[in-house]
Amino acid sequence: MAKETILVVDDEANIIKLARMYLQNEGYVVESARDGREALTKIKSLQPALVVLDLMLPEVDGWEVCRKVRADSDVPIIMLTARSDDVDKIVGLELGADDYLTKPFNPRELVARVKAVLRRYEKSAASTKPIHLGQVTIDPQRREVTVGGQQLDLRTKEFDLLWALAEHRGIVLSRDQLLDLVWGYDYYGETRTVDVHIAHLRDKLEGSDVIIETVWGVGYKLMVG
């Protein structure tokens, strides 16, 4: 398995040295840049798994780097700020940063945050890939479902419910679990809501090889016939 590359962008040599030592100890390949212009060039050429980005940079500051990167890339970004000012953090997050650390920081915390952001990113990336089930294709990015190439007209919650069942295909999910997955933990409606949406889904999937089975007294599971 190829080692993931982390790009550390900071004009302070000691910060780069410290980050490199701790990240390399965790098995990452570490590249560095000392200003915003160099950072933009290396992000494009290296296509790192994650960028640790200082805000106060020469040439092009961290905010502008983040703005330019987000125009055409979703590479995870952890911002470094020398100030504890909440405005810096808020602006950074609004520009698309995934997390932030305030200097001086514990290098172990940097490693922990890198790992956490990468885990979230990998999970998110995996969950946006289309699922193919027999004649049925579910595309979460387009929020489209097709049967034999023909698009189904699904309402928002119908799509979310089908996606939840497809992600757990072959596994029985209770009505309460489906409420949590689709409507959220703060939903206070009745479990009959699930039954009604299941009925609609079954009507729309009729004729395909995807079946939503009822497991009496437990819940539902999705199967490919």
C-alpha distances out from residue 191 to 16, 63, 87, Å:
53, 46, 43
pTM score above 0.75: no
pLDDT digits (tens, 9 = 90+) for 54-96: 999 999 999 999 999 988 888 999 999 876 666 666 666 667 7
Beta carbons within 8 Å of 85's beta carbon, 6+ residues apart: none
pLDDT at residue number 86: 64
Q: Which of 35, 68, 29, 74 is nearest to 53 (CA)?
A: 35
Mean pLDDT check: name the lowest of 21-25, 46-50, 191-195: 191-195
Across 105-118, average pLDDT: 91
∠215-219-222 over CA atoms, to 5°?
75
**What end-to-end distance do the CA atoms of the chain give, in Å?**
36
pLDDT digits (tens, 9 = 90+) for 172-205: 999 999 988 887 644 455 677 889 899 999 999 9
Residue 95 DSSP symbol = T
